[in-house]
């Protein structure tokens, strides 16, 4: 693979141009995508690619598109969303009538809209959802509030009837649902100030990071939760030793933030 021979300094230079910290990503997953970019741009090395990128201000966004995996679905992993609805949300709502939720790495918004629909349809009380991603193109699509047929197909009937309207070839998400979600750009690899969330969903995002970086991201996401708040990860994302991050495993892909005292004592809170 042409790119693997390049020193980190060149990868750092490329990171600067793209606005992505490429050194934080799992190189085994990243390198094949970089190799594809090199092929498409007819560059032989990353050094050549960095020169090519500076030739046109639109190019960095195009290359970032090819490197970031934007695939997403409404209610992705049905079983986990079942747990969220039947056990996680009821316990969070019982503790707090106003839920603060964060979808970190929200792609085109499907995850944030799924959270908003479930909360509005099944739970009393108010909520506010922050949805963030590093990729500006995905965020623009999310803010437009349109879903294509293949994405809308995954939505349970009761939500489709209440929250989607057919317009031309697409589905538009209702103003009610859109009004509860705020989209903005945020890189989870950079320091962030978000805190006191009841639920943080960061699904199928950290899977692309190297193991050390993954752990650091989980640690900082855990700190963004209020004690008792819950972290919702992707199906293949597992935290070993959650107690070190002030988390306890609840079930499935859900981890709860425990109090600092309980963590120091090594004790677990009741589920």
Ligand X SMILES: C[S@@+](CC[C@H](N)C(=O)[O-])C[C@H]1O[C@@H](n2cnc3c(N)ncnc32)[C@H](O)[C@@H]1O
Total length of the chain: 271
Of 203, 214, 239, 257, which one interacts with ligand X (CB under 6 A)?
A: 203
Please write down the HEC assignment for all residues of 219-238: HHHHHCEEEEEEEEECCCCC
Beta carbon nearer to ligand X, 83 or 269: 83
Q: Smallest gap, in angstroms, from Cβ of residue 163 to ligand X?
A: 18
204 interacts with ligand X by CB under 6 A: yes
CA atoms of 66 and 220, how far apart (whole Å): 27
Beta carbon nearer to ligand X, 143 or 268: 143
Residues 6+ apart with CB under 8 A from 55: none
Of 189, 222, 225, 233, which one interacts with ligand X (CB under 6 A)?
A: 189
Q: How many residues bind ligand X (CB under 6 A)?
A: 23
105 interacts with ligand X by CB under 6 A: yes
Tell me how crowded residue 227 is: count the other CB atoms within 10 A of its CB: 15
Instruction: Single out the segment in contact with ligand X by CB under 6 A; choices: 31-39, 55-63, 198-206, 221-229.
Output: 198-206
Of 3, 72, 214, 263, which one interacts with ligand X (CB under 6 A)?
A: 72
CA atoms of 136 and 26, how far apart (whole Å): 22
3-state secondary structure of 75: coil
Of 133, 155, 159, 250, which one interacts with ligand X (CB under 6 A)?
A: 133
Instruction: Single out the segment in contact with ligand X by CB under 6 A; choices: 26-34, 120-128, 147-155, 201-209.
Output: 201-209
Beta carbon nearer to ligand X, 107 or 214: 107
Is residue 68 within 8 A of residue 21, CB to CB? The reply is no
CA atoms of 77 and 99, how far apart (whole Å): 22
Of 14, 46, 53, 68, which one interacts with ligand X (CB under 6 A)?
A: 68
Beta carbon nearer to ligand X, 255 or 258: 255
Is residue 175 within 8 A of residue 122, CB to CB? The reply is no
- Kindly identify the residues of this chain, within the stretch 135-154, that bind ligand X according to CB under 6 A: 135, 138
- Kindly identify the residues of this chain, within the stretch 215-244, that bind ligand X according to CB under 6 A: 234
Tell me how crowded residue 70 is: count the other CB atoms within 10 A of its CB: 13
Element holding 240 (H helix, E strand) = none
CA atoms of 224 and 70, how far apart (whole Å): 24
Q: Smallest gap, in angstroms, from Cβ of residue 40 to ligand X?
A: 19
Beta carbon nearer to ligand X, 72 or 246: 72
Element holding 94 (H helix, E strand) = helix 89-95
Number of Cα atoms under 13 Å in the Cβ half of residue 249: 9
69 interacts with ligand X by CB under 6 A: yes
Q: What is the dihedral of CA 242, 247, 249, 252, to 10 degrees?
A: -100
Beta carbon nearer to ligand X, 1 or 29: 29
Beta carbon nearer to ligand X, 135 or 257: 135
List interacting residues with ligand X (CB under 6 A). Answer: 68-73, 76, 105-107, 110-111, 133-135, 138, 187-189, 203-205, 234
């Amino acid at each position: 693979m042409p790119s693997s021979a390049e020193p980190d300094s060149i990868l750092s230079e490329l990171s600067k141009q793209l606005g992505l910290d490429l050194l934080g990503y799992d190189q085994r997953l990243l390198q094949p995508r970089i190799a594809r970019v090199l092929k498409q741009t007819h560059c032989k090395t990353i050094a050549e690619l960095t020169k090519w990128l500076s030739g046109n201000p639109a190019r960095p966004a195009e290359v970032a598109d090819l490197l970031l995996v934007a695939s997403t679905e409404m209610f992705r992993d049905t079983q986990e969303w079942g747990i969220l609805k039947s056990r996680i949300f009821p316990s969070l709502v019982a503790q707090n009538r106003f839920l603060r939720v964060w979808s970190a790495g929200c792609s085109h918004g499907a995850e944030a809209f799924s959270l908003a629909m479930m909360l509005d349809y099944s739970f009393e009380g108010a909520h506010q959802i922050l949805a963030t991603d590093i990729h500006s193109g995905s965020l623009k699509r999310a803010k437009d509030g349109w879903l294509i047929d293949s994405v809308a197909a995954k939505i349970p009937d009761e939500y489709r009837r209440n929250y989607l309207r057919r317009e031309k070839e697409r589905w538009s998400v209702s103003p009610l649902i859109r009004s509860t979600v705020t989209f903005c750009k945020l890189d989870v690899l950079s320091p962030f100030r978000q805190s006191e969330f009841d639920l943080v969903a960061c699904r199928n995002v950290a899977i692309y990071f190297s193991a050390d970086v993954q752990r650091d991201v989980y640690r900082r996401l855990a700190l963004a939760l209020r004690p008792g708040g819950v972290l919702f990860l992707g199906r293949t994302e597992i935290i070993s030793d959650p107690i070190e991050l002030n988390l306890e495993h609840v079930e499935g892909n859900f981890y709860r933030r425990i109090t600092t005292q309980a963590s120091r004592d090594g004790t677990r809170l009741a589920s």
